């Protein structure tokens, strides 16, 4: 069972203070951009769909595909609604054959597994991975996105994310992209707020949206 977290605004401010204290690189980023505006998506299934769509493509391409799919579904991104779409419907949105299979599998699994979204929301990180990684097309990166952007766990480090690897290289002046081992070691002082550190690294590369004025 996952332990209750402090209120999100308090946690984010505590994370900013911690990160600024352990790395001057973060202090500059936090001062230079804006307070972290990470707002978890409460709909677990919708976030998983977004994560699958975003696999291995640019942020802009993923946004375009996601918007077409949501329009096709009239905004109702639910397992049953997605199961009603034809293969041609998915292809018209720009979804590849491999991702189509993954999305159908997710929709079928959520439709037949009662209370799955609640179980995911209540599970710890290991529990979330145990529930999702056996599913076709769902890998560690996809689960990390769910942990960060939906059910929100504050200490997630997506070591397979290219944006994070490139951001860390640039922010910390590394000669090359860090591998998972190097990134994990470098991020050890960021605990227990590696999720917020990840957000700021993305933000430094404009990979998460700016807050609305």
Residue 123 placed within a domain: yes
On whether both 183 and 107 belong to a single domain, the answer is no
User: What confidence tens digit (pLDDT) does each residue in 88-101 have?
Assistant: 999 999 999 999 99
On whether both 136 and 180 belong to a single domain, the answer is no
On whether both 49 and 109 belong to a single domain, the answer is yes
From the number of C-beta atoms within 10 Å of its C-beta (0-12, 13-18, 19+), residue 166 rates as middle
Domain span at 194: 8-38+156-204
Which position has the token pair 């997630």? Answer: 156
Question: Where a domain ends, among 149, 169, 188?
Answer: 149
Quick one: tokens of 193? 């707020």
In whole angstroms, give the CA distance from residue 79 to residue 108.
7
Residue 213 placed within a domain: no
Exposure b/e, 92-101, CB count within 10 A at least 16 = b: ebbbeeebbe
pTM score, two decimals?
Answer: 0.92
In CATH, what number is assigned to the domain containing residue 114? Answer: 1.10.340.30
Which residues are catalytic, by number?
Answer: 161
On whether both 28 and 53 belong to a single domain, the answer is no
Residue 211 placed within a domain: no
In whole angstroms, give the CA distance from residue 73 to residue 84.
9
On whether both 107 and 172 belong to a single domain, the answer is no
User: What confidence tens digit (pLDDT) does each residue in 138-180 have?
Assistant: 999 999 999 999 999 999 999 999 999 999 999 999 999 999 9
Question: Where a domain ends, among 149, 172, 192?
Answer: 149
On whether both 97 and 133 belong to a single domain, the answer is yes
* The length of the chain, given as a count of residues: 213
On whether both 107 and 49 belong to a single domain, the answer is yes
User: What confidence tens digit (pLDDT) does each residue in 106-139 have?
Assistant: 999 999 999 999 999 999 999 999 999 999 999 9
In whole angstroms, give the CA distance from residue 161 to residue 145.
10
**Total domain count, the chain:** 2
User: What confidence tens digit (pLDDT) does each residue in 46-81 have?
Assistant: 999 999 999 999 999 999 999 999 999 999 999 999
Question: Where a domain ends, among 129, 149, 169?
Answer: 149
């Amino acid at each position: 069972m996952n332990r209750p977290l402090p209120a999100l605004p308090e946690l984010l401010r505590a994370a900013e203070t911690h990160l600024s204290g352990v790395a001057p690189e973060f202090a500059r980023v936090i001062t230079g951009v804006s307070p972290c505006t990470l707002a978890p998506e409460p709909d677990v299934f919708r976030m998983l769909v977004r994560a699958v769509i975003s696999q291995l493509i640019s942020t802009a391409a993923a946004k375009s595909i996601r918007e077409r799919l949501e329009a096709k579904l009239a905004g109702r991104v639910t397992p049953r609604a997605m199961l009603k779409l034809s293969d041609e419907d998915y292809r018209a949105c720009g979804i590849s054959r491999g991702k189509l299979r993954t999305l159908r599998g997710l929709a079928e699994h959520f439709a037949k597994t009662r209370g799955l979204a609640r179980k995911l929301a209540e599970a710890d990180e290991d529990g979330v991975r145990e529930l999702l990684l056996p599913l076709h097309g769902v890998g560690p990166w996809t689960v990390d996105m769910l942990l960060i952007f939906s059910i929100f766990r504050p200490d997630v480090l997506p070591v397979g994310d290219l944006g994070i690897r490139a951001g860390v290289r640039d922010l910390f002046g590394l000669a090359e992209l860090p591998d998972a081992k190097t990134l994990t070691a470098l991020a050890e002082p960021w605990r227990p707020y590696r999720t917020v550190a990840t957000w700021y690294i993305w933000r430094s590369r404009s990979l998460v949206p700016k807050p609305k004025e």
